[in-house]
Amino acid sequence: ETGVTQSPTHLIKTRGQQVTLRCSSQSGHNTVSWYQQALGQGPQFIFQYYREEENGRGNFPPRFSGLQFPNYSSELNVNALELDDSALYLCASSWRTSGRRTKTGELFFGEGSRLTVL
Amino acid sequence: KQEVTQIPAALSVPEGENLVLNCSFTDSAIYNLQWFRQDPGKGLTSLLLIQSSQREQTSGRLNASLDKSSGRSTLYIAASQPGDSATYLCAVLSYNNNDMRFGAGTRLTVKP
């Protein structure tokens, strides 16, 4: 069984640039969630993707966007980077059964992508 | 809006001691609660998942309990070891959204 993998592990960008982070979900999982974790804090929910559609979003501006692909992998894109975007970005995968009222089960996280904005 | 609090923020204990980490949440309408471990600069490792209908879960030396009515969960670690040193995070998933809310974590140090 393959776990959640994220790339790149570390990257440095300057203000105003754009970044794309990638995540491969654990085999058998169909839902991907993205989180931002600032130093010394708990992770903050960015958004979740299920069946290639955004399925819930936290308090993040539109310059944070994402995609989910047919193989359930996902991308997080951040445009117009700001200094405060420096953080550890975590991807989590889970399984969700079909149905309007179902929710995801146990979350499994990758090792994260450490973004530094200068 | 669900708020999750973890107390204490940091804890240092001698090896072999039993310890309890606390997690409280403000909205009792939860779907599940999950405890994680995070080593410095690393991702989160799932320890235990408790569904809203359950009162506790056990895995090895770890036992997590859930009391929805009081908005509390505890993680009990028996016979602590230096390898248990890490930050422990609890997270709550509510019924009305897909936003898993995390506490800020408890940083545990187990001294040999």
Q: Do A111 and B97 touch (CB under 8 A)?
A: no
**Nearest to B62, CA basis, from B90, B39, B41:** B90
The angle subtended at Cα B86 by Cα B83 and Cα B88, nearest 5°, is 125
For B43-101, write each residue's pLDDT tens digit.
999 999 999 999 999 999 999 999 999 999 999 999 999 999 999 999 999 887 788 99
Check residue A98 and give its pLDDT.
63
**Nearest Cβ partner for A109 among B43, B49, B105:** B43
CB proximity B89 to A under 8 Å: yes
Name the residue in chain A with its Cα closest to that of B100: A45
Span A30-56, mean pLDDT?
93
Interface contact A60, partner B, CB < 8 A: no
Q: How far apart (Å, rounded) are the C-alpha atoms in residues A102 and A107?
A: 15
The region that residue B59 occupies, defined by phi over 0 for left and psi between -120 and 50 for alpha, beta otherwise, is beta
Give A1's pLDDT tier (boundaries 50, 70, 90). Answer: low
Cβ contact, residue pair A105, B49, below 8 Å:
yes
Q: Is the pLDDT of residue A101 over 60?
A: no
Nearest CA in chain B to A47: B99
Mean pLDDT value across chain B: 95
